[in-house]
Chains A and B, each alone.
Chain A
């Protein structure tokens, strides 16, 4: 119980957010939206981590969230750099154009 709210609600909320993100990665074709979906997954995890951290009265979960945020920022920085290279070479950021490597 955190302030009268059962931990199950936090669990369900973050699971729902995580699922929306994960499904989005496979469904959406715009690469910027892909990044947003991945960010959503990571944010869902952060929410869960903080909820558990408060529940257990243990700060290490909150410290972990800082690491998560830093890593997510680094990942997006690299991702957008690669995306701008792709745009320069193909004039498109649609993930359907990325099919030069055969399956």
Chain B
């Protein structure tokens, strides 16, 4: 909760910094604030108070704290990376404020315990992201990305609200725990529209995390938005949406799981099939990573659907989001640095090995982790997912997941190969700033560390 308050305060500070002329100290201020929020999160973890605020609407238990720590840490790395992005162009202060408010929404989602905070968190996260996606004012592609994101986002919000209204109509409550208790008592006597409501909420959340068949906006939005904003979308936004998804379905609707588990199985199977076959054909790196993020979202959904009410699945969801976010952030960082003076085409990465060693090594580790190859964190992330799927009923899904990861490994390794062996059209070396190099090195070290000692996350005592 303290982290959320600090981030909101930072957002307000960023807004007034233009008026009171402390714009130049804003960046160190934001970094200090994020570090303070992280420290307070760790402190709250060690001194659990089990307080929920605002009539039980929001409360940070240990799983929420773990998710918000992941989000804050990724955001911290992102800010260091984006420092010079904020220096170029106009209206920089607004960018800070928008990112910070989106972050506040993300933290609110990790701690939501009520439909109201769920809805407000999603909107607080999404509305600044619409603006950020369209933030290249004179670029029609960026405008288009922002517009598509907005239309699809508010369309999904409409579904979410309709679902919430139907569930409210059946249970007379917005509170997760009260809804759960009501379902447990009146199971079998619930009106038909309650189940429709749950399905509507599921569809809306599927839109937000971008899984097939509700994924069609994601590649366009990822391609059109500025690279760093895309990086933010695929890390912070995704982690927060999954934290909310987990809270909603594993905690609130766990008593009607037979209804949504089947639907999730279909969604997962479709996403795995669509994303990896399409990703192979992409020529734009951001588009390819968009399809890869769809397949990773499918893997994370598998954790939610194979949940048996054990903390192990929450742990592996946190591990997966951390591994995916780190790998994705470093991949987008490399694309950002490479595409500064070039295009975002996959061929731009050809012969990167001769232009900059650090970028090549980072992207190699990141792609190996996304592909799920051992020693990197991505391997254990996928391993935990596949080992948790009940093998008697969902064996076909496990097989599909393995086949699709093999296809995924093909297109990741193709890029790694072209970085080392293909000829680039230019030999001009890429200069990397110290702060950028720092972020890249931290990401690589963490990816390898979590890959070698997964127990750091999976043995966290969440309750």
Contacts and interface: CB of A to CB of B under 8 A. Distances in A.
Question: Do A and B originate from a single complex?
Answer: yes
A86 B143 contact: yes
A74 interface: yes
Interface string B370-391: 0000000000000000000000
B125 to A, nearest CB: 12
B120 A38 contact: no
B144 interface: yes
Given A45-B165, A75-B127, A100 B158 contact: no
A58 B145 contact: no
A85 B219 CA distance: 21
Interface string A88-100: 0110000000101
Interface in B137-174: 137-141, 143-148, 150-151, 154-155, 157-158, 161-162, 164-166, 168-169, 172-174
Nearest to B137: A85
Interface residues of B, number: 42
B151 A71 contact: no
B162 A25 contact: no
A81 B146 CA distance: 11
Given A58-B172, A67-B116, A83 B127 contact: no
A54 to B, nearest CB: 11
A56 interface: yes
A20 B339 CA distance: 43
B142 to A, nearest CB: 9
Given A48-B165, A71-B123, A74-B127, A101 B154 contact: no
Secondary structure at the B interface, as helix, strand, loop or mixed, is helix
A78 B135 CA distance: 12
B172 A75 contact: no
B344 interface: no
Given A45-B158, A52-B168, A64 B116 contact: yes
Interface in A41-61: 41-42, 44-45, 48-49, 51-53, 55-56, 58, 60-61
Contacts of B150: 75, 78-79, 82
B223 interface: yes
B283 to A, nearest CB: 10
Interface of A: 7, 11, 14, 18, 21-22, 25, 31, 34, 38, 41-42, 44-45, 48-49, 51-53, 55-56, 58, 60-61, 63-64, 67-68, 71, 74-75, 78-79, 81-83, 85-86, 89-90, 98, 100-101, 103
